[in-house]
Amino acid sequence: MNDIPNTTNLNVRVDSTLKKESDILFKKLGLNMSTAINMFLTKCVNTSSIPFEISTPKPSKNLKKALKEADYIAKHPEKFKGYTNIDELFEALDSED
């Protein structure tokens, strides 16, 4: 008589450092990788969702300001000095003193 439930193998590629750190964490929690993954998948199925928030990062105020400035510069290149090489740029910076 076989008491092992119907199981299947799952192969997943994971960063080696992440796997090592996960193994350490799960061991501290009294779990192994297989049990932890089964818990995650069970929670997903039971809630019909991912059991943590997934979102796109929102740009900071500084990033929004920089992007707006870059867009303005791209649309109005005639208002800004351009350089054909790094030496020209450094000369211009040195002459500002």
This prediction's pTM: 0.54
3-state DSSP assignment of residue 94: helix
pLDDT at 4 over 70: no
What is the arithmetic mean of pLDDT over 6-22? 95
Q: 42-86, pLDDT tens digit by residue?
A: 999 999 999 998 888 889 999 999 999 999 999 999 999 889 999
Residue 1: what pLDDT?
45
Average pLDDT of the chain? 92
So what's the architecture of 1-54 in CATH?
Orthogonal Bundle (1.10)
CA pair distance 22, 35, nearest whole angstrom: 12
Residue 72: what pLDDT?
96
Where exactly are the structural domains of the chain? 1-54, 61-95
